[in-house]
Amino acid sequence: MKTNDLILQTATKTVVFIILLFALHIFFAGHYYPGGGFVGGLLTSGAIVLLLLAFDVKTVKKSLPINYRLMIAVGLLFAIGTAVGSFLFNVPLLTHAFGYFTLPLLGKTSLHTAVLFDIGVYLCVVGATMTIIETIGVSE
């Protein structure tokens, strides 16, 4: 039996944008407030799962042509890259550097290399979650 999903799809088209923006907010708030790479990644995959529920797997694959296994690899590379960076300056492994810079638009901002590590965590979480869900969803 095929049901008419028009209301669900229309609501999804609006809500997904809000979830993605909130995921980015949580990701960037992670240094001083609750949040960070893991929760941000889970929220992002939650938005993609909502799309998968409202539309078909085929449609979502066509509109988001992302290879999630490659995403895991890139995330791990980010994390390892921050570790390797500490060898260049003769400090212990995974030592992070930070400083205050005056940026246009943002004003005085502290830039921290832990953000790069967090991007790695984020990409790994999104990739792993979506790989699991897609693998379960496609196999009949």
Partner 1 sequence: MAFQILLNFLLAFLWMIFESSFSINTFLIGYLLGLLILLIMRRFFNSRFYLWRVIAIVKLLLIFIKELFLSNLAVLKLVLRPKLNIRPGIFALQTKLESGWEITLLANLITLTPGTLVVKLSDDNQTLYIHAIDIQEVEDAIEGIKNSFEKAILEVSR
CB 39 within 8 A of CB 129: no
Helices within 1-113 (DSSP H only):
6-28, 37-54, 57-63, 68-88
Q: How far apart are CA 54 and CA 5, in angstroms?
A: 7
Query: Smallest gap, in angstroms, from Cβ of residue 8 to partner 1?
Result: 9
Query: Smallest gap, in angstroms, from Cβ of residue 36 to partner 1?
Result: 33
Query: Smallest gap, in angstroms, from Cβ of residue 7 to partner 1?
Result: 5
Q: Which is nearer to partner 1, 13 or 61 (CB)?
A: 13
Q: How far apart are CA 107 and CA 114, in angstroms?
A: 20
Q: Which is nearer to partner 1, 15 or 114 (CB)?
A: 15
Q: Which is nearer to partner 1, 7 or 106 (CB)?
A: 7
Q: 25 — phi, psi (to 5°)?
A: -60, -45
- The torsion defined by the Cα of 101, 106, 109 and 111, in degrees rounded to 10, comes to -80
Binding site for partner 1 (CB under 8 A): 2-4, 6-7, 9-11
Q: Which is nearer to partner 1, 56 or 140 (CB)?
A: 56
Query: Smallest gap, in angstroms, from Cβ of residue 1 to partner 1?
Result: 11
